[in-house]
Amino acid sequence: MRAVEITRLFTDNQERLEIEWVAGRDGGGRTLSRDTNAQAHVGLVGHMNFIHPFRVQLIGPAELTYLGTLTLPEQAETFSRLLVEELGAIFICGVGDPPAYMIELAERSQVPLMKSTYPSPHVVDVLRLYLARMLAANATLHGVFLDVLEMGVLITGASAIGKSELALELISRGHGLIADDIVEVYKVSPELIEGRCPDVLKDFLEVRGIGILNIRTTFGETAVRPRKSLKLIVHLEDHTDEQFKRLDRMNVNASFQEILGVKIRKVVIPVAAGRNLAVLVETAVRNFVLNLRGIDSTREFIERQAKLMEEG
């Protein structure tokens, strides 16, 4: 189960959100995860909430205005209700320094209390996206992951079938490398899979006969990408001449591969002498984009043929 310590959250977002750690530094080891065993209904980030408490509670002008309608003892008592064991941290957003009673109670309870100069809605958006990526369900796939025409394309196939050589040709045609050999995929939303490269392999591509290439150094900064959403899987298959002749040339039904519970469109391209695989991959991506727009050339051809037969 993936988890993020509050100390890591603070370090990663300190400059972006102009965060200052005010109190409760002893609670920096508190962790945030997708599985809150104690309370399954607990969310990750949100404004001050007592009914469905978030793991990271934000207090902005509206929340402070509400607290200001109470007496000072009532304010302290209300704030103390936030300081439960499952709480990760409290952020005071866009209102300057927190009141003294908040600092005292947070220090006593060892709950991290931080302040940001940014308004609370902005902090919520940034932290939700950050935690979605950090805590996403993940898996490791074998293949070459590329950015082809702004689409994340995973090229798979048997060892030595030519995945890296195909990737090299696509890179030379202006497309971008994300990961070679090992691709880390993360489920960042219910319907979105994001692919990344392990740190040790970033920028590198192995090509048999040449060796390991640094793509950033060889082709320039624009030849690599840090991450991309996985939209299409292109699977390379080795076919003999007889097998190639028996392929279904009018394949109407799309095939899919499930990754982390998300169905990803899959295209199988036979590998045979004389086939320009780079052009075929580019065309497969263009055809996929057309399918997303509701345009299916195969069905259009079949419907046109059927119409002509009826008229005849």
> Which positions are annotated as active-site residues?
142, 163, 181, 249
Contact by Cβ (8 Å): 89, 114: yes
Please report, as a single letter, which amino acid is at residue 43: G
Q: What value does the CA radius of gyration of the chain take, rounded to a whole number of Å?
A: 26
Residues 6+ apart with CB under 8 A from 71: none
User: Which residues on neighbouring strands pair with residue 262, listed in sequence order?
Assistant: 259
Asked whether 270 and 237 are in contact (CB, 8 A), the reply is: yes
Residue with tokens 């489920």: 187
How far is Cα of residue 168 from the mean position of the Cα atoms in its chain?
25
What is the distance between the alpha carbons of residues 289 and 73, in angstroms, rounded to a whole number?
61
Distance from chain centroid for Cα 262: 13
Between CA 262 and CA 43 the distance in angstroms is 22
Separation between Cα atoms, residue 203 and residue 221, nearest integer Å: 10
Indicate the SS3 state at residue 80: helix
**CA separation for the pair 193, 231 (Å, rounded):** 8
